[in-house]
Amino acid sequence: MKGAVEGSLMRAAKPLFLAAILLSMSLFSGCIGLVASRELMEWNRGVPETKDEVVVFGFDRVFDSTDPADIIFHPQPHQIRIDSEVKEIQVFFRVQMDFSEIAGVETSNLTSTVRYVHAMLWEPGANKNTDTPYWEENATTDRYPPLQRFSPPFEFGVWELEVDAQGYGLDTPIDQISFHDEFEVSVSVIRPCIEFPERADPDECIPV
């Protein structure tokens, strides 16, 4: 018990001790006092760590209607800034279309014009009418490709993640014939950054 009390007193005394030293440093005139104060604060700051900062851009949708006004999903593209600090780009894509196979027979050939998800990642300055996307997926049935990883070099500038989809959803008293088409697509941009232990904002990570 005595040791615990002494430990608590020592921990409480440390900030007071540092405050007293900083106060005394501030009494020095000129640059010497400022330099000494700054060095003392850096000494107390802790050891920074390098970690990866991940910024995710994406779209997802669960279709819940057969109304022509609700079956089309074509949002504004995501603007994604890529610079020299980016160390990796990851792309995730998942599509679920119920009844895309019935009794072992694939039905997507019959429904591909009305049920689909088309996702594209464009590099800066690309001509969408003539150029090939950096990455592209077009699904008309269940689709679960593995996560794709891309490494530098990358074109610097503003990239665009675009999606054009059409799907249906229907709830019926019989669960077996109810269905909801759905999809998810995301682009994760990964940069290294420096994290300080005593940062005020727990999510703050300073770019390298």
Each of the 208 residues of the chain gets a pLDDT tens digit; together they read 544 444 444 444 444 554 555 455 555 545 445 555 555 555 555 677 778 899 999 999 999 988 888 899 999 999 999 999 999 999 999 999 887 655 344 555 556 678 999 999 999 999 999 999 999 999 999 999 999 999 999 999 999 999 999 999 988 887 766 788 999 999 999 999 887 666 555 555 676 6
Greatest C-alpha distance within the chain: 87
Confidence at residue 106, expressed as pLDDT on a 0 to 100 scale: 56
Confidence at residue 11, expressed as pLDDT on a 0 to 100 scale: 47
Confidence at residue 113, expressed as pLDDT on a 0 to 100 scale: 74
Confidence at residue 175, expressed as pLDDT on a 0 to 100 scale: 72
Confidence at residue 22, expressed as pLDDT on a 0 to 100 scale: 47
Rounded to whole angstroms, the Cα distance separating 170 from 153 reads 45
Query: Domain residues of the chain, as ranges?
Result: 2-46, 50-194
Confidence at residue 13, expressed as pLDDT on a 0 to 100 scale: 47
50-194, CATH topology level: Jelly Rolls (2.60.120)
Confidence at residue 43, expressed as pLDDT on a 0 to 100 scale: 52
What does the chain look like in DSSP terms, one character per residue? -HHHHHHHHHHHHHHHHHHHHHHHHHTS-HHHHHHHHHHHHHHHH---EEEEEEEEEEEEEE-----TTTSEE-PPPEEEEE-TT--EEEEEEEEE-TTSEETTEE-HHHHTTTSEEEEEEE-TT--TTTSPPSEEEEESS-B-PPPEEE-S----EEEEEEEEEE--EE--SSGGG-EE-EEEEEEEEEEEEEE-TT-SSTT--EE-
Confidence at residue 69, expressed as pLDDT on a 0 to 100 scale: 83
Cβ-proximal residues to 36 (8 Å cutoff; 6+ apart), any chain: 25, 28
- Short-list 24, 19, 48, CA closest to 36: 24
